[in-house]
Amino acid sequence: MITIRNFEAILQHNLAQIAENLEVTLRIESSYEHALRLVDELRSVCEALLTLRKLQRGWVLPLRRSRG
């Protein structure tokens, strides 16, 4: 069974891996299209980690997020 702490650790590990991949992509490969995909993935992991931490602190979150 996965716990919230384990899930948080997994997200943090993923965040570090994506950041490292982004650094290598920009430094060595110069593939900006790939870099943009990594930035989008990085944002998604950051949002998931932030949401998890808010839930741990008892914040109430809306079910739908408005994009404005």
Domain positions in the chain are 30-55
Residue-wise pLDDT for 5-26, tens only, equals 888 899 999 999 999 999 888 8
Distance CA 22, CA 58 (A): 33
pTM, to two decimals? 0.72
Q: Which residue has the tokens 């590990």?
A: 13
How far CA 27 is from CA of 10, 15, 30, 37, 62, in Å, comes to 26, 18, 6, 16, 39
How far CA 23 is from CA of 3, 16, 37, 47, 68, in Å, comes to 30, 11, 13, 20, 30
Q: What is the mean pLDDT of residues 26-40?
A: 85
pLDDT-above-70 percentage for the chain: 84
Mean predicted lDDT score pLDDT of the chain: 84
